[in-house]
Amino acid sequence: MRRLICLTLLVGLPCTLMASLSAPAAEQTAAEAASFNSLADLQSFYADKVKKTRQAVEAERLASLDVLLKKAPTSNKPAILLAMIESAAILEKADQLLALSDEYLRSSPAVQDAWNVRQVRFMAMISANRLDDAKAEWEKATQTIDMDAWQQVFDSAILIADGMLEAGRVKDVTELYKTLRSKFSFVSNLGDVLQPREAALKWIGKPAPPIEGQDLEGKPVDLAQYKGKVVLIDFWATWCQPCIITMPELIETYKTYNKAGFEIIGISLDQDKEALNRYLSSQKLPWRIVFDGKAWFSPSARRYEVQAIPATFLINRDGTIAVAGTPSKGFGPAVKRLLQSSTDKK
């Protein structure tokens, strides 16, 4: 007979009540477990459950903070507003986030705190396709640059540039990069940061070059097979540590958005197929991998002018390149915006 360990001192419930509560919960868990056919299905189910629970908690927290804000003394309101901005960002309530951040910025916060909030504010504007408003606000706030916050100022501009790139506004991005070169000439490695981004501009809005090669099952891979999808082409190799580091993010992005129309094509620049197979045996990738053993001389790598990896190209549903390189806030937000903008146009 099982012994029921009494947790009365920990949770304040009598053992009899704990027993009555735990049995149905265990039965529900068993029923859920029986419905899963794979680890991936189980993980996806519980990730979604955690997300929904977190959203419910944040919605309750935001409502409670709103009540507290109305009765709090003036000195406490900035801290409460910050907490509300955090919850609004998690809940993706762009309009409320913009209103709260505007109120917070009027409270004259420290410069670094102000720019941290502006970054979140710019992300909300970008998500709402208010790119011109974001750029105008950034320009107004950077008439003079406080050196204590120059990194946040620079990162905010890169966020706006990425949003414009996804909208195909290459000319505007080019001008913004010129502005950054002027305003941040004191940064020693500025060229190293901006040069790859400037070089990638030539790809934006152009039709994606064809992919040539076969996957690991010997089946030909053709971009035409992915017509109507948002596709990430990822040039990588098992010996490339930065490539391997990005894999968990790519896997999570794929699992989150695959059913909405997102796909990944991995193009391995490995020469050693055994090394590739060893990696894939320990890290399952849920997308197709193109391999020919030609490394840098792979026809696809040459068509995309790949000179360093990881090299990534995010392709819109219409077959044009939307992003060349890694977006500053990761692939998830970029993929989500492309999927959403594609849906809005239908």
Tell me: the pLDDT tens digits for 271-314?
999 999 999 998 889 999 999 999 999 999 999 999 899 999 99
239 with 275: CB under 8 angstroms?
Answer: yes
Tell me: do 197 and 234 sit in the same domain: no
Burial class (CB in 10 A: 0-12, 13-18, 19+), 17: exposed
Tell me: do 185 and 227 sit in the same domain: no
Check residue 249 and give its pLDDT.
92
Average pLDDT score over residue span 223-238: 95
Tell me: do 232 and 107 sit in the same domain: no
Tell me: do 180 and 96 sit in the same domain: yes
Average pLDDT score over residue span 318-343: 84
* Percentage, residues of the chain above pLDDT 90: 69
Check residue 5 and give its pLDDT.
37
CB half-sphere exposure, 141, CA atoms < 13 A: 25
Tell me: do 170 and 263 sit in the same domain: no
Burial class (CB in 10 A: 0-12, 13-18, 19+), 124: buried
Check residue 37 and give its pLDDT.
76
Average pLDDT score over residue span 237-256: 93
Q: Is the pLDDT of residue 82 over 80?
A: yes
Tell me: do 191 and 262 sit in the same domain: no
Banded model confidence at residue 326, pLDDT cuts 50, 70, 90: confident
Beta bridge partners of 327: none
Check residue 8 and give its pLDDT.
34
Q: What is the CA radius of gyration of the chain?
A: 24
- Give a yes or no: residue 232 inside a domain: yes
Banded model confidence at residue 16, pLDDT cuts 50, 70, 90: very low
Overall number of domains in the chain:
2
Check residue 271 and give its pLDDT.
94
Check residue 299 and give its pLDDT.
93
Tell me: do 167 and 305 sit in the same domain: no
Banded model confidence at residue 327, pLDDT cuts 50, 70, 90: confident
Tell me: do 145 and 74 sit in the same domain: yes
**Is the bond preceding 196 in cis, omega lying within 30 degrees of 0?**
no
- Give a yes or no: residue 104 inside a domain: yes
267 with 236: CB under 8 angstroms?
Answer: yes
Check residue 172 and give its pLDDT.
95
Beta bridge partners of 214: 220
Check residue 129 and give its pLDDT.
86
Amino acid code (one letter) for 335: V
316 with 230: CB under 8 angstroms?
Answer: yes
- Give a yes or no: residue 30 inside a domain: no
Check residue 7 and give its pLDDT.
35
Check residue 1 and give its pLDDT.
38
What pLDDT digit, counting tens, does each position of 151-200 carry?
999 999 999 998 898 788 999 999 999 999 999 999 999 998 899 889 88
Burial class (CB in 10 A: 0-12, 13-18, 19+), 216: middle
What is the span of the domain harbouring residue 298?
223-345
Tell me: do 341 and 263 sit in the same domain: yes
DSSP for 80-143 reads: HHHHHHHHHHHTT-HHHHHHHHHHHHTT---HHHHHHHHHHHHHHHHHTT-HHHHHHHHHHHTS
Q: Is the pLDDT of residue 142 over 70?
A: yes
Check residue 34 and give its pLDDT.
61
- Give a yes or no: residue 181 inside a domain: yes
- DSSP classification of residue 220: B
- Give a yes or no: residue 38 inside a domain: no
CATH of the domain at 248: 3.40.30.10
Check residue 343 and give its pLDDT.
53
Banded model confidence at residue 20, pLDDT cuts 50, 70, 90: very low
Mean pLDDT of the chain: 87
Last residue within a domain, chosen from 148, 168, 202: 202
- Give a yes or no: residue 7 inside a domain: no
Distance CA(108)–CA(105), nearest Å, equals 6
284 with 210: CB under 8 angstroms?
Answer: no
Long-range Cβ contacts of 110-116 (<8 Å, 24+ apart): 111/146, 111/148, 111/149, 112/148, 112/149, 112/152, 113/82, 114/149, 115/149, 115/152, 115/153, 115/156, 116/152
- Give a yes or no: residue 95 inside a domain: yes
204 with 236: CB under 8 angstroms?
Answer: no
CA neighbor of 114 nearest in space, from 87, 91, 75, 85: 85
Check residue 30 and give its pLDDT.
54
Banded model confidence at residue 24, pLDDT cuts 50, 70, 90: low
Check residue 25 and give its pLDDT.
52
Banded model confidence at residue 344, pLDDT cuts 50, 70, 90: low
Cα 278 versus chain centre, distance: 28
Tell me: do 228 and 194 sit in the same domain: no
Last residue within a domain, chosen from 202, 231, 258: 202
Tell me: do 53 and 186 sit in the same domain: yes
CATH of the domain at 75: 1.25.40
Beta bridge partners of 200: none
Check residue 29 and give its pLDDT.
59
- Give a yes or no: residue 89 inside a domain: yes
* Percentage, residues of the chain above pLDDT 70: 88
Per DSSP, the three-state class of 233 is strand
Tell me: do 173 and 240 sit in the same domain: no
Q: Is the pLDDT of residue 11 over 70?
A: no
